[in-house]
């Protein structure tokens, strides 16, 4: 059974860079049938897609965050990572990693399943 | 890409049916049958309930069903049970400009 686990600092100072890693177990991150993504949820608010990466390294970012986001993949470690620069209090959120399945009906990235348990990152001095 | 529009809250009594709407645009929901629905209980990660508009993953109760008409997708839960009380989010493929995803604002379901 595929499992995803986020890891990284729970506290980041304003203007610094948030760095998280998602470790995939129970399956290979190099499968051509999947993308891998990051989604966040500010406390008490809704979900926001941050970006996705394909095992080949192709990346896709939310236009509203694109200037600050970098997602990378390390197939040798079965991990993918998120970096978000110049953070502010507005970036405080639970950050989830998830597998994004490729729709064989539409030949496009589709739904997110499964999800990691999430990790709370607080931006504060 | 703008967030999809969902009602903030819906409620129903045990055994009843409820429907949650999710309105997007002709660039996302209207152009692709790539709407998915997620259930989120407090403090937990979202769980996939419906994908490609109307398909149920293995293990999800057949009380959950999805549909789409034009730019609006819908999630229907029949035979409401206490454990269905949760937040529900819709999500759509956001179009070829970003290959991204856009979520709805979420709907809080209360089982009375």
Residues of B in contact with A3 (CB under 8 A): none
Which of A62, A110, A118 comes nearest B36 by C-beta? A110
Say what the pLDDT of residue B96 is.
74
B64 at the A interface (CB within 8 A)?
no
Residues of B in contact with A97 (CB under 8 A): none
Mean pLDDT of A59-71: 95
Q: Give tens-digit pLDDT for B1-57.
A: 688 999 999 999 999 999 999 999 988 999 899 999 999 999 999 999 999 999 999
A117 at the B interface (CB within 8 A)?
yes
Q: Does the beta-carbon distance from A110 to B100 stay under 8 Å? A: no
Output the CA torsion B12→B50→A93→A86 (10° steps).
-140
Place of tokens 């856009």: B102
Give 3-state DSSP helix, strand, coil % of chain B, rounded to 5. Answer: 5, 45, 50
B8 at the A interface (CB within 8 A)?
no
B88 at the A interface (CB within 8 A)?
no
Task: Yes or no: say if A3 and A114 are a contact pair by the CB < 8 Å rule.
Answer: yes
State the pLDDT confidence band at B98, using cuts at 50, 70 and 90: confident
**Separation CA B43–CA A91 (nearest Å):** 19
Nearest CA in chain A to B105: A46
Mean pLDDT of A21-28: 96
B93 at the A interface (CB within 8 A)?
yes
Nearest CA in chain B to A5: B45
State the pLDDT confidence band at B75, using cuts at 50, 70 and 90: very high
Question: First CA to last CA across chain B, in angstroms?
Answer: 35
Mean pLDDT of A25-50: 94
Mean pLDDT of B93-100: 81
**Separation CA B94–CA A13 (nearest Å):** 32
């Amino acid at each position: 059974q595929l499992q995803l686990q986020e890891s990284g600092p729970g506290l980041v100072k304003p203007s610094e860079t948030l760095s998280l890693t998602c470790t995939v177990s129970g399956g290979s991150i190099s499968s051509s049938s999947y993308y891998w993504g990051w989604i966040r949820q500010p406390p008490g608010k809704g979900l926001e897609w941050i970006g996705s990466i394909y095992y080949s390294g192709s990346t896709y970012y939310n236009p509203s965050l694109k200037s600050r986001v970098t997602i990378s993949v390390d197939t040798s470690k079965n991990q993918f990572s998120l970096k978000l620069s110049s953070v502010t209090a507005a970036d405080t959120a639970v950050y989830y990693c998830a597998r994004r399945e490729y729709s064989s009906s539409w030949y496009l990235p589709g739904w997110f399943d499964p999800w990691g348990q999430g990790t709370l990152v607080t931006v504060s001095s | 890409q703008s967030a999809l529009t969902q009602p903030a809250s819906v409620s129903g009594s045990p055994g009843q049916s409820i429907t949650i709407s999710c309105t997007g645009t002709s660039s996302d929901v209207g152009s692709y049958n790539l709407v998915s629905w997620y259930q989120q209980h407090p403090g937990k990660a979202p769980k996939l309930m419906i994908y490609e508009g109307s398909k149920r993953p293995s293990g999800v109760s057949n009380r959950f069903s999805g549909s789409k008409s034009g730019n609006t997708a819908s999630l229907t839960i029949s035979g409401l049970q206490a454990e269905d009380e949760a937040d529900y989010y819709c999500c759509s493929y956001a179009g070829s400009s970003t290959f991204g995803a856009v979520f709805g604002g979420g709907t809080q379901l209360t089982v009375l």
